[in-house]
A and B are shown apart, each in its own frame.
Chain A
Amino acid sequence: MAKVLVVTSGKGGVGKTTSTAALGAALAHQGERVVVVDFDVGLRNLDLIMGAERRVVFDLINVAQGVAKLSQALIRDKRLESLWLLPASQTRDKDALTDEGVRDIIADLRTRFDWVICDSPAGIERGATLAMRYADEAIVVTNPEVSSVRDADRIIGMLDSKTVKAEAGEQMKKHVLITRYDTGRAARGEMLNIDDILDILAIPLLGIIPESQDVLRASNLGSPVTLNDAASTPARAYTDAARRLNGETIAMMVPTEQRRRFMDRLLGRRAA
């Protein structure tokens, strides 16, 4: 039974695309058949994070308009057999997406994969509403700062009203994924802490991803952070989140970078 996830946030730059790639890769690593779908038509990035930008021939819009078949547009990841990418178009804009087109593509993807992960564009307009429209579950990505949390709250309201599931009177399952979390700054009161965020958003926590150079490094290499350095703190946090998505119960760790540095100091000088 395929599950359609939307990764959304309202605010831009909080880590939707990074999280989509990382969670997709982590789920695929666990043996699931996964497709990550870039809904950010006109400003696509998922292909870069996945390191597939040189192999894009057809895209979501081509499939939606019947120019290309879905099998022609899907790109298989070079590292993981069961991970696929459906890229967005860079030359079109979000008006090129239609409700029916998205519905048909999602329905088709459901038959081919275990997980369909839709990377939503920022904002609350057409692109974002279409990305969430046919989803079964939502991952709301937020940074520990007030503007991001308020936008996340707004998006949760839309998930509860504008999706097919909500319109059918069902409750959509929602998770919050806190990214760029810095324990030190949160302790000093420079950031919202976890309890504040959960109190405001009132939805279950999927994971806490620490602020880390590893994420940036992986992005620039065109590799999901969970594949680039599976032992890094953010990679482990994403892997745990992916396992929670899969129904496992894993204790929530508030990740710290300090421990990593300590381990580095101990094991940093590995003999070649």
Chain B
Amino acid sequence: MDSKEPQRQLMRLRGRSYVAFVFSPIMPIVNWLDEIDATLARSPGFFIGRPIVLDLSAVDLSPHGIAHLVSNLESRGIRVLGLEGVEATGLDAGLPPVLNGGRGCVVEQVEPKRVEIQPPPPPPTSSLLLQNPVRSGQRIVFTEGDVTVLGSVGSGAEIVAGGSIHVYGTLRGRAMAGINGNSAARIYCQKIEAELLAIDGYYQTAEDIGETLRRRPAQAWLDGDVMRITPLN
């Protein structure tokens, strides 16, 4: 016989409170039900899954009338969790239990939240495209990445980029690439007449740029701590 003493389960009672909606029907019940229908028409499923308590203190219904009302609500998909404001005696056992001791509280916004369609935030750009010429006196600072200029960069204009600088016109102004310590940044241009080129703090002025390179497509890059300017073709 290996029958063991069955282990005693400790039945632990825990209290927990929920927020329930309280329906307080008023006479005539038919009109009140119409109101419910109107609410359901506006937002079907509004009451689905929500605890509902029926407060009958404002109406005087027979046990039969109560049972009729509860079944009416059930037919609309509203399940009643409990009753309030009536005597428990004489009620049908099939009806929800009578509750008491309820306290009023503020119900949080329960309207189903409209899903707001927001355009997804633009992805963080890592390059800046300038379609117009950059004029003398203009200063373009873009520390996030590369700068591409489709036109020319005028004498006295300045481009400052965290990444590389691409100029598809003539570069006559100042170009400073890799200002955040990016020594791999480069400066490219279709025609080099730059006043100053800088990459990661290393710079060359117009005087240092060889005469043979002038007005030709060129790139500037860092070779260790020496800036090289080489033709592009």
Chain A interface residues toward B at CB < 8 A: 124, 146, 150-151, 153-154, 156-158, 160, 199-200, 202
Chain B, residue nearest A157 (CB) = B135
Q: Tell me if B170 and A153 are in contact (CB < 8 A).
A: no
Chain A, residue nearest B151 (CB) = A202
Is B183 among interface residues, defined by CB-CB distance under 8 A? no
Q: Tell me if A150 and B170 are in contact (CB < 8 A).
A: no
Task: List A contacts of B154 (CB < 8 A).
Answer: 150, 153-154, 157, 200
Q: Tell me if B133 and A202 are in contact (CB < 8 A).
A: yes
Chain B interface residues toward A at CB < 8 A: 132-138, 151-152, 154-157, 169-170, 172
Interchain CA distance A153-B172 in the complex, whole Å? 12
Task: List B contacts of A200 (CB < 8 A).
Answer: 152, 154-155, 170, 172
B136 contact from A153, A160, A199, A202, Cβ within 8 A: A153
Q: Tell me if B135 and A199 are in contact (CB < 8 A).
A: no
Chain A, residue nearest B135 (CB) = A157
A-B contact pairs, 23 of them (CB 8 A): A124-B137, A150-B136, A150-B155, A151-B136, A153-B135, A153-B136, A153-B155, A153-B156, A154-B137, A154-B156, A156-B135, A157-B134, A157-B135, A157-B138, A157-B157, A158-B137, A160-B132, A160-B135, A199-B152, A199-B170, A200-B170, A202-B152, A202-B169
Most chain A CB within a 10 A radius of its CB, from B136, B138, B155:
B136
Interchain CA distance A187-B156 in the complex, whole Å? 26
Task: List A contacts of B135 (CB < 8 A).
Answer: 153-154, 156-157, 160
Chain B, residue nearest A151 (CB) = B136
Interface of A is mostly: helix
Q: Tell me if B156 and A150 are in contact (CB < 8 A).
A: yes
Closest 10 pairs (CB-CB, A-B):
A157-B135, A153-B136, A154-B136, A154-B137, A153-B154, A150-B155, A157-B138, A153-B135, A202-B133, A150-B136
Interchain CA distance A153-B138 in the complex, whole Å? 10
Task: List B contacts of A153 (CB < 8 A).
Answer: 135-137, 154-157
Interchain CA distance A156-B133 in the complex, whole Å? 10
Chain B, residue nearest A199 (CB) = B170
Interchain CA distance A124-B138 in the complex, whole Å? 13
Task: List B contacts of A156 (CB < 8 A).
Answer: 135
CB distance from A104 to the nearest CB of B (A): 30
Interchain CA distance A158-B136 in the complex, whole Å? 10
Interchain CA distance A154-B156 in the complex, whole Å? 8
Chain A, residue nearest B138 (CB) = A157
CB distance from A130 to the nearest CB of B (A): 18
Interchain CA distance A156-B134 in the complex, whole Å? 10
Q: Tell me if A157 and B137 are in contact (CB < 8 A).
A: yes
CB distance from A137 to the nearest CB of B (A): 17
Instruction: Please name 20 further chain A to chain B contacts, defined as beta carbons within 8 Å, in addition to the given A153-B136, A154-B136, A157-B135, sorted by A numbering.
Output: A124-B137, A150-B136, A150-B156, A151-B136, A153-B135, A153-B155, A153-B156, A154-B135, A154-B137, A154-B154, A156-B135, A157-B134, A157-B138, A157-B154, A160-B135, A199-B152, A199-B170, A200-B152, A202-B151, A202-B152
